[in-house]
Structure 1
Amino acid sequence: MKQLLTILKYALLLAISGLLMAYAIRGQDLSRIGQTLREANYGWLALTLLLSALGYGSRAYRWKMQLDSATGTARTSYAEVYHAMMVGYLANLVLPRMGEVIRCSILRRTGGVPVEMSLGTVVAERIIDVVVLLSLLGATLLVDFNKFWAWVTDWLLKGRYDALARNQTTLIVVAAMAAVLLAGALFGVLRNLERLQQNAVFNRLVGFARGMLAGVFSVLKLERKGLFLFHTLFTWSVYFLTSYLTFFAFPETSRLGLGAGLAVLTFGAFGMAAPVSGGIGTFHLLVQSTLLVYGISKEGGIAYALVAHGAQTLLVVLMGGISFVASMARTGRGKEVVSGEMVS
């Protein structure tokens, strides 16, 4: 039954991706999209793929810094960390958000790092990415505020503001109920804490939570915080360049400037973060909508999104496939890193 529910869940997510893609190309001239794809200068894509490969290498090094800080040891090799990360990205193309767990599981087998500890570093990584992404969103809106405000008022909020106002009371009631339930659950745990501490399952959960927290706060214990910041900035600079340089692959988007590149990066990243397989559908729709703000036709926007997303997906498949073979070829050491020591 559980397997059936899992299959149905991923089938539903895939169906949502398909519907979003269908919505993105609805009513468009497919022959024009095909012609745009055929006339694209794919030399620019080769450059973006090279930059992306460097970005993955930098991101893996940053993750290794977190792992070394969390475990108190540098015994996990860069190759182990890199291969685990790329396999996780490969898994995310099929199983949304499961790639994070899978890469931590692989690192446990190849490098001996406890899953809860490596998962904590991934959570810290995601928190940092969210902070960067929100900063980019603010910068995007500041750079081209008038364009986006006109888009919001003319399309996004047209006829929707009144609906939100009518349902304001309902939203407040739901939020209040959620707060009461959360407070009740917290009170119940605190009241029965001594009894819970005698429960084996509760103690396992506490141990898992401690390992997660060690990973989350690994950033605070980094010895070379400047290097960590450099790799963070380098990774996001690569993301920006891949978005911007792809403009030059198409005559229609080649005139766009750095502000448009920043906007495509920002909203495209939100599309990739959606819980669907590889951002399929959500990325394409958000990028197409963003390019509409800059005067690019729907056909030109979807062609850009198809090429940009397709190229990066093929790169992940290639690099992730190689890393999968490399990870499977390694023999697990059967050890765990605990407080800086390797134990059997």
Structure 2
Amino acid sequence: MLLLYLAFRGVDFNSLVEDLKRANYYWVLLSLFFAVVGYVSRAYRWKLLIEPLNYNPPVRNVFYALMVGYLANFDFPRIGEISRCGSLRKSDKIPMDSLIGTVIIERAIDMVVLLLLLFVIFIAKIESFGLFIKENVFIPISKKFINTVDFSIYYWLIIVVVLATLVFMFYYFRKRFKRVKIIIKIRKIIRGVISGVKTVTKMRNRSAFFFHTILIWAMYFLMTYVVIFAIPATQSLKPIDALFLLVIGGLGMAEPVQGGIGAFHWIVSLALSLYGISREDGLVFATIQHESQAILAILLGAFSVVMLFLYSRKKRKNNI
């Protein structure tokens, strides 16, 4: 909530509300349609990663679990990945650890795509986008890294000694550790996660996986592009500008806050300032895009919770 306050601090809310009322919501509805297509495609792609585990859950259950995850992200940052795995484990009896492995692969691939797009826009308009990304992405990340590693040599020495001691103890007592229940459980979980990660090498239909990856990101792009026509201040933006906003917004959503609230609004409004768009108009655009998608995710998530509950109850009755 702090980021939300900082993003909107000093803004005239009456003026903001009036601008929101004047927006053309036809484009917003079209954006929501693209979002639903993207969600369905993401469900199909996740199912392709699950199939090598010798499980074949219905696509609707995978979709419901995915939306439960999006809903959970509004409760606690990044908990959605665990929640969607837990939902699918409960509905289709797929091991949780293996599902987590598939999510790790899925997120890693999406991160690669995001970085590739970041590189593309960096090169496409290096004089404007490049400077913005350098000042607002690369420099802050490098500062965080420097602050993280900027310890005294004595602290590093202590860390190295502690790690070396732990490694030595584990190696020396490894036979005893193997019989400890919690170690057995941890080893089992790790093996399950690894088996989930390996599914990317065992997929039967890799072309479909890459097709859905492209489709997902195409829908993300269109979700952003059509919203620029919703308000007069952004209607002159071009497709490459929408791609820039997609990547910058993606970085905002990656921040460890509930549903990207505040972080998305701040960084997108800041990015729009490159085009001479005022902070207020930038926040109107960010609010329309973020809140429309948030409402859709919450509604679909709540619907999915109910549908998975009914599915599980029906399944229990059939097993009696």
CA distance in 1 between counterparts of 2:51 and 2:137 reads 45
Distance 1:188 1:142, change over 3 A: farther
**What amino acid does structure 1 have at the position aligned with 2:76?**
L
> How far, CA to CA, are the matches of 2:210 and 2:298 in structure 1?
28
Q: Write out per-residue CA displacement over residues 96-115 of structure 1, whole angstroms, 9 at most, x where no aligned residue.
A: 21121121111111101011
Partner of 1:245: 226
Tell which deviates more after alignment, 57-66 or 126-135: 126-135
For 2:2, the equivalent position in structure 1 comes to 19
Equivalent pair of 1:90/1:321 in contact (CA under 8 Å): yes
**Structure 2: which 5+ runs fail to align?**
none
The alpha-carbon distance between structure 1 residues 328 and 139, as it changes in their structure 2 partners (threshold 3 A), is: same
2:11 maps to 1:28 = yes
Instruction: Tell me the percent identity.
Output: 35
- Which of 65, 69, 90 is matched with 2:48 structurally? 65
Higher helix proportion, which one? 2
TM-score, L = length of structure 1: 0.83
| Aligned partner of residue 252 in structure 1, secondary structure | helix
Distance in 1 (CA, whole Å) between partners of 2:278 and 2:37 is: 32
- Could you tell me whether the CA contact under 8 Å between 1:141 and 1:148 is conserved in 2? yes
Q: Distance in 2 between matches of 1:261 and 1:295?
A: 15
Matched, 1:170 2:186: no
> Is 1:225 aligned to residue 206 of structure 2?
yes
Post-superposition Cα deviations, 1:242-301, rounded to whole Å, max 9, x if no partner, equal: 111110001110101122111111111111122211110111111111111222110111
Report the equivalent of 1:312: 293
Q: Distance in 2 between matches of 1:127 and 1:156?
A: 19
**1:260/1:294 contact within 8 Å kept:** no
Aligned to 2:244: 263
Residue 202 (1) aligns with residue 160 (2)? no
Counterpart of 1:269, as a letter, is G
Q: Which sections of structure 1, spanning at least 5 residues, go unmatched?
A: 1-17, 335-344
Q: Among 289, 303, 306, which residue is 2:270 paired with?
A: 289
CA RMSD of aligned residues (A): 2.7
Question: Does structure 2 conserve the Cα–Cα contact (< 8 Å) formed by 1:88 and 1:100?
Answer: yes
Amino acid at match of 2:202: K
User: Within 1, Cα distance between the matches of 2:76 and 2:149?
Assistant: 37
2:62 matched residue in structure 1: 81
Deviations 1:123-181 (A, max 9, x none): 111111111111111112112211134446888999x9xx99x9798358467765665
Q: Tell me the number of residue pairs that the alignment of Structure 1 and Structure 2 aligns.
A: 311
Change (3 A) 1:152 1:243: closer
How far off its partner does 1:200 sit?
1.2
Map 1:46-57 → 2, pairs under 5 A: 46-57=29-40
Partners of 2:32 and 2:296 within 8 A in 1? yes
Give the superposition deviation at 1:78: 1.2
CA contact (8 A) 1:144 1:259 kept: no
CA drift of 1:72 comes to 2.0
Q: Tell me if structure 2 keeps the 8 A contact 1:20–1:282.
A: yes
Contact map agreement 2:49 2:102 (CA 8 A) in 1: yes
Equivalent residue, structure 2, for 1:135: 116
Instruction: Show the 5 A alignment for 1:182-197.
Output: 182=163, 184-197=165-178
Q: TM-score, normalised by structure 2?
A: 0.88
Residue in 1 aligned with 2:26?
Answer: 43
